[in-house]
Amino acid sequence: MRGKVYTESEEATMDFSGLVFRACFTIMQNEAYGNKRAVYDIINYLGTIMHPFQDKQYKEAIEALAKKEKPQGKTANDLRIIEEKYTHDFMYGKYESLMDLAYRRGFLPATKKQHMSGDMQ
- What is the domain partition of the chain in residue ranges? 2-104
| Residue 110 vs residues 61, 100, 117: alpha-carbon distances, Å | 21, 11, 22
**Distance from C-alpha of 78 to C-alpha of 99, rounded to nearest angstrom:** 31
Percent of the chain scored above 70 by pLDDT? 79
pLDDT band at residue 41 under the 50/70/90 scheme? very high
**Distance from C-alpha of 91 to C-alpha of 119, rounded to nearest angstrom:** 35
**Distance from C-alpha of 89 to C-alpha of 15, rounded to nearest angstrom:** 29
In this prediction the pTM is: 0.74
pLDDT band at residue 14 under the 50/70/90 scheme? low
**DSSP letter, residue 119:** -
Q: Are residues 88 and 31 in contact, defined by beta-carbon separation less than 8 angstroms?
A: no
